[in-house]
Amino acid sequence: MTECNIEVQPGVCKLRTKIKAVTNDEWKVVFEVESDCPSVRKMASSLGPIDPMQNVGVKLSESDIYRKADESIAHTACPVPCAFLKAIEVASDMGLKRDVTIEIK
């Protein structure tokens, strides 16, 4: 089992999110989430174990993460849903542990 820990500093809202993702014995990814954002907390509480094969490499509209984000997060540019998907990739060994950066200049 691979563990992935991500911290998101989303920008102007300053509502930090920490995501811990681990693959369980059934090869599903489970999350522990701490967030200052009530919308992200709502989304996270609605997530059960996630099947990586049904979320990595699919259209955004077919991802469980983006569907749940659509129900909970009003800010379209929020980077947190992407962070959840990156955590799924790493925790399921379907992606490498590499930082992602968005720089606004």
Record the pTM. 0.94
- How far, CA to CA in Å, does 68 sit from each of 3, 50, 99, 103? 22, 12, 24, 26
Query: In this structure, is residue 50 part of a structural domain?
Result: yes
CA neighbor of 57 nearest in space, from 24, 30, 85: 85
* Interval 52-67: pLDDT, tens: 999 998 999 999 999 9
CA distance 12 to 26: 38
Please tell me the distance from the alpha carbon of residue 105 to that of residue 95, in angstroms, as a whole number.
Answer: 28
Q: Give residue 36's domain range.
A: 3-91
In the predicted model, what is the mean pLDDT of residues 15-26?
A: 96
Residue carrying the six token digits 């925790």:
91
What pLDDT digit, counting tens, does each position of 30-44 carry?
999 999 999 999 999
Residue 102 lies in a domain: no
On whether residue 64 sits in a domain, the answer given is yes
In this structure, what CATH number is given to the domain that contains residue 75? 3.90.1010
DSSP characters for 42-71? HHHHT---B-GGGTTTS-GGG-HHHHHHHH
